[in-house]
């Protein structure tokens, strides 16, 4: 495995702040397909508290709020979180926002969430070691039997192997570093969980090719 390009990775925080600032509705206002599927699944098991990792500008956050979940939205971009807070104010909705870089331990108590949801955060500029540590943190903050539903761009995506090689299956394209998920990485991240659902889907114009994985804490 090629060593990760730490310098390129370090620039991603400022990149995301500026992208989310320049594009107020970067991914639109409608919820993603993955949020629709995850909220249905979380509802079936009676989940109430949901931790969302990499919430961006909140297109999915507000879907969970409208469905009656108690949502904590986490992102390292204060620009993204500012959009969520201002929209929550306009709606009179309650969303707990936490500014946090997921490369550090999650700022949450053990066994405190029924479910964790994350659309396209795991495939950001996170090394394999950081992803393993992050998933262990997700497991820690989930209640026993809690669910995690995450999506990530995968190695069948058109941008995989294109642009600048940042090491560790990460490639930079147009300023965005993406970690493309292989089947082996998905297996590795399932340690301590049971995979209960897994499917490929596409999103956007490219289109992005993504894997959706839902797991239960064992
Ligand atoms: C591809 S966007 C997806 C946003 C949102 N989930 C959506 O689908 O609309 C990825 C998000 O992850 C955030 N992010 C990237 N790296 C992060 C990190 N190390 N810690 C916390 N958030 C991060 C970015 O700021 C951005 O909001």
pLDDT band for 3, please (50, 70, 90 cuts): confident
| Closest C-alpha to ligand 1, atom 26 | 56
Chain mean pLDDT for the chain: 96
What pLDDT score does 1 carry? 63
Kindly report the protein residue whose alpha carbon is nearest to atom 16 of ligand 1: 124
Domain positions in the chain are: 6-217
DSSP 157: S
Expressed in angstroms and rounded, the spacing between residue 195 Cα and the centre of ligand 1 is 23
Distance from the CA of 53 to the center of ligand 1, in angstroms?
7
CA of 92 to the centre of ligand 1 (A): 24
Instruction: Give pLDDT tens digits for 8-65.
Output: 898 899 999 999 999 989 999 999 999 999 999 999 999 999 999 999 999 999 999 9
Tokens found for residue 126: 């996170």
Closest CA to ligand 1's atom 8 = 119
Both tokens of residue 92?
A: 């009179």
The answer, yes or no, to whether any atom of ligand 1 lies below 6 A from the CB of 80, is: yes
Q: For 6-217, CATH number?
A: 3.40.50.150
Distance CA 54, CA 134 (A): 12
Task: Give 128's DSSP letter.
Answer: H
Are 93 and 65 contacting, i.e. CB atoms less than 8 angstroms apart? yes
Cβ(59)–Cβ(31) below 8 Å: yes
3-state class (DSSP) for residue 4: coil
Name beta bridge partners: 208.
Answer: 203
Would you say the pTM of this structure is higher than 0.75? Answer: yes
pLDDT digits (tens, 9 = 90+) for 108-157: 999 999 999 999 999 999 999 999 999 999 999 999 999 999 999 999 99
The tens digit of pLDDT for each residue in 159-198 reads 999 999 999 999 999 999 999 999 999 999 999 999 999 9
CA angle 73, 10, 35 (to 5 degrees): 25
What is the atom index within ligand 1 of the atom nearest the CA of 77?
A: 25
Q: What's the rounded Cα separation, in Å, for the pair 154 and 169?
A: 10
How many distinct helices (H) and strands (E) make up the chain? 7, 10
Q: Say what the pLDDT of residue 11 is.
A: 87
Cis-peptide, bond into residue 207, ω within 30° of zero = yes
Reading the block at residue 68, the tokens are 């009656």
Q: What is the residue-wise DSSP string for 2-55?
A: PPP-HHHHHTHHHHHHHHHHH-TTTT-SSPPHHHHHHHHHHHHTT--EEEEES-
CB of 27 shorter than 6 A to ligand 1: yes
Instruction: Tell how far the Cα of 59 is from the centroid of ligand 1, in angstroms.
Output: 12
Of 93, 173, 91, 127, whose CA–CA distance to 5 is shortest?
A: 127
CA of 2 to the centre of ligand 1 (A): 24
């Amino acid at each position: 495995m090629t060593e990760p390009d730490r310098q390129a990775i370090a620039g991603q925080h400022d990149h995301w702040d500026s992208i989310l600032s320049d594009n107020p509705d970067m991914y639109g206002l409608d919820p993603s397909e993955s949020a629709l599927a995850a909220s249905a699944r979380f509802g079936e098991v009676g989940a109430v508290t949901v931790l969302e990792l990499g919430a961006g500008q909140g297109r999915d956050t507000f879907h969970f709020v409208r469905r009656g979940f108690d949502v904590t939205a986490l992102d390292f971009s204060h620009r993204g979180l500012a959009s969520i807070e201002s929209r929550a104010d306009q709606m009179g909705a309650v969303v707990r926002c936490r500014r946090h870089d997921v490369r550090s331990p999650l700022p949450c108590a053990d066994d405190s969430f029924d479910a964790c949801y994350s659309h396209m955060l795991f495939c950001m500029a996170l090394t394999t070691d950081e992803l393993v540590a992050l998933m262990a943190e997700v497991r820690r903050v989930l209640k026993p039997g809690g669910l995690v539903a995450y999506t990530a761009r995968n190695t069948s995506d058109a941008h995989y192997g294109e642009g600048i090689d940042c090491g560790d299956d990460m490639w930079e394209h147009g300023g965005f570093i993406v970690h493309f998920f292989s089947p082996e990485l998905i297996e590795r991240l399932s340690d301590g969980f049971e995979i209960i659902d897994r499917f490929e889907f596409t999103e956007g114009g490219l289109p992005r090719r993504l894997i959706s994985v839902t797991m239960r804490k064992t």
